[in-house]
């Protein structure tokens, strides 16, 4: 009887297997590629440890091997126009020098640089004789504008001076908490203050580092130790302000360079951000939403956004 019972059991098991087959092993889910950021920028950096260009993935594409630049641009012809504390140089990507200007012996350091529509180049000299120079294509001084800072400390007299469309010059004076507009004769015709009560008053070091005259007539200012960016109207009223209170993680650590993009967004350099993974540069909308950031190892003093998602930033750079 035992063999018959075993055969019945085997037959029953076979019948059950036929009726209820083992579930199929699911195929592995294919890996989903990481989504690319909605916004990607390439940009020029003038910084304490690097001067050059980073692509939209944050990789170095141009390295001048001369850190410590104060200001600079990638010109429409592709040349690099850069100023260090003692020397201004325009060079091709291959390193050929096409313009050079050295600090005068009677001053302490060079500051900012700007290529003008006339073809001249604007540069600041700081020290015993604070002044703006316009240089011609050969590097010869053809215009000099005396400045009126409130200090003999050359390093703190001014930062990012820019020539305006009306022929005047916009000059931020840090320790005075003032952005002054000068005529070509050196006369001050307008003053914007950055020690306003709505910006924290004199209790906060809202030193104006960058001052950019926008098409609206407003002026966009990067305020260094105050860790703010403020947009002021022609009467000096604050019409827009960005601070760490508006952003998660308090990313602004010494707001030096700023740039207003063609889309209305604002890009801000966090110069004193020393953490390797800290945000060094970021973009916000007018509603103060952060939509892009760079947290790589290159510290940023001043900068120029060059492209967005592979397309050149349109119009003149507002920096």
Distance CA 235, CA 155 (A): 29
Using a 10 angstrom Cβ sphere, with 0-12 exposed, 13-18 middle and 19 or more buried, the burial of residue 90 is buried
The b/e string for 40-69 (b: 16+ C-beta within 10 A; e otherwise) is: bbbbbbbbeebbbbbebeeeeeeebeebeb
Residue 276's pLDDT band, with cuts at 50, 70 and 90, is: confident
- The C-alpha angle 129, 221, 43, rounded to 5 degrees, equals 95
Distance CA 82, CA 244 (A): 30
Residue with the larger pLDDT of the pair 317 and 73: 73
The 8-class DSSP code of residue 140 comes to -
Tokens found for residue 107: 């001053």
Q: Which of 241, 253, 251 is nearest to 288 (CA)?
A: 241
Indicate the pTM of the whole model.
0.87
pLDDT at 14 over 70: no
Contact (Cβ atoms closer than 8 angstroms) between residue 172 and residue 185: no
Residue 316's pLDDT band, with cuts at 50, 70 and 90, is: confident
pLDDT at 137 over 50: yes
Average pLDDT over residues 201-219: 93
Distance CA 184, CA 164 (A): 11
Average pLDDT over residues 183-192: 98
Position 36 scores a pLDDT of 60
Average pLDDT over residues 102-125: 97
Average pLDDT over residues 135-151: 97
Contact (Cβ atoms closer than 8 angstroms) between residue 107 and residue 154: yes
Position 25 scores a pLDDT of 54
Distance CA 178, CA 302 (A): 20
Q: Among the ranges 10-14, 92-96, 307-311, which has the highest mean pLDDT value?
A: 307-311
Residue 195's pLDDT band, with cuts at 50, 70 and 90, is: very high
Position 6 scores a pLDDT of 34
Average pLDDT value for the chain: 90
Beta strand 121-127 with 107-115 is antiparallel
Please enumerate in sequence order all residues whose Cβ is within 8 A of that of 50, keeping only pairs 6 or more positions apart, or say none: 60, 63, 67, 298, 299
Helices (H), the chain: 2-19
């Amino acid at each position: 009887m035992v063999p018959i019972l075993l055969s019945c059991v085997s037959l029953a098991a076979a019948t059950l297997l036929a009726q209820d087959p083992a579930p199929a092993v699911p195929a592995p889910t294919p890996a989903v590629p990481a989504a690319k950021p909605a916004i990607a920028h390439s940009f020029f950096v003038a910084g304490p440890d690097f001067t050059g260009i980073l692509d939209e993935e944050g990789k170095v594409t141009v390295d001048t091997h001369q850190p410590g630049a104060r200001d600079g641009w990638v010109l429409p012809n592709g040349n690099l126009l850069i100023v260090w504390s003692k020397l201004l140089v325009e060079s091709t990507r291959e390193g050929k020098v096409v313009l050079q200007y050295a600090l005068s012996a009677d001053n302490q350091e060079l500051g900012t640089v700007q290529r003008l529509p006339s073809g001249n180049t604007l540069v600041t000299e700081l020290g015993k004789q604070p002044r703006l120079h316009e240089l011609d294509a050969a590097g010869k001084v053809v215009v000099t504008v005396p400045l009126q800072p409130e200090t003999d400390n050359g390093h703190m007299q001014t930062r990012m001076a820019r020539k305006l469309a009306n022929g005047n010059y916009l000059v931020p004076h840090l320790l005075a908490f003032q952005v002054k507009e000068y005529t070509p004769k050196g006369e001050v015709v307008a003053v914007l203050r950055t020690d306003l009560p709505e910006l924290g008053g004199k209790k906060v070091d809202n030193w104006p580092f960058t001052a950019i005259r926008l098409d609206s007539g407003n002026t966009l200012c990067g305020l260094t130790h105050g860790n703010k960016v403020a947009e002021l109207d022609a009467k000096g009223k604050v019409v827009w302000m960005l601070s760490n209170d508006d952003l998660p993680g308090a990313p602004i650590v010494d707001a030096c360079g700023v740039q207003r993009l063609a889309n209305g967004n604002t890009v801000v350099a966090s110069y004193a951000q020393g953490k390797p993974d800290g945000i060094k540069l970021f973009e916000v909308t007018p509603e103060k939403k952060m939509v892009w950031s760079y947290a790589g190892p290159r510290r940023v003093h001043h900068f120029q956004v060059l492209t967005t998602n592979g397309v050149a930033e349109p119009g003149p750079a507002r920096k």
